[in-house]
């Protein structure tokens, strides 16, 4: 059974304010945990790539510059 966002919001609006606040915290914590897992997986892949010798050493300034450029291109 698929629940639409509107149906979910209607269901949540029927909860008491305290339970709505608890639900917000639960969802927030799940999103944080999901992002942590994503970051950990990215880190594992990056370490494996580095250990395979596919990355070359770079100065911190170069890496920061490249990161800033990437962030500007993809806001």
Spatial neighbors of 34 by CB under 8 A, at least 6 apart, are none
| Tokens matching residue 5 | 């966002």
- The 10s digit of each residue's pLDDT in 44-61 is 999 999 999 998 888 999
Q: Are 37 and 45 in contact (CB under 8 A)?
A: no
Q: What is the pTM of this model?
A: 0.65
> Token pair 């942590």 is at which residue?
36
**Domain limits for position 44:** 5-73
Per-residue pLDDT of the chain (75 residues; tens, 9 = 90+): 678 999 999 999 999 999 999 999 999 999 999 999 999 999 999 999 999 999 888 899 999 999 999 999 876
Q: How many domains is the chain partitioned into structurally?
A: 1
In the chain, what's the furthest Cα-to-Cα distance? 56
Predicted local distance difference test score (pLDDT) of residue 74:
79
Q: Give the residue ranges of DSSP H helices in the chain.
A: 5-13, 17-51, 60-73
Predicted local distance difference test score (pLDDT) of residue 1:
64
């Amino acid at each position: 059974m698929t629940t639409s966002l509107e149906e979910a919001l209607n269901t949540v609006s029927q909860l008491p304010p305290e339970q709505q606040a608890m639900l917000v915290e639960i969802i927030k914590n799940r999103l944080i945990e999901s992002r942590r897992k994503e970051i950990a997986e990215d880190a594992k892949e990056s370490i494996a790539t580095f250990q395979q010798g596919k990355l070359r050493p770079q100065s911190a300034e170069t890496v920061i510059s490249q990161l800033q450029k990437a962030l500007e291109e993809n806001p």
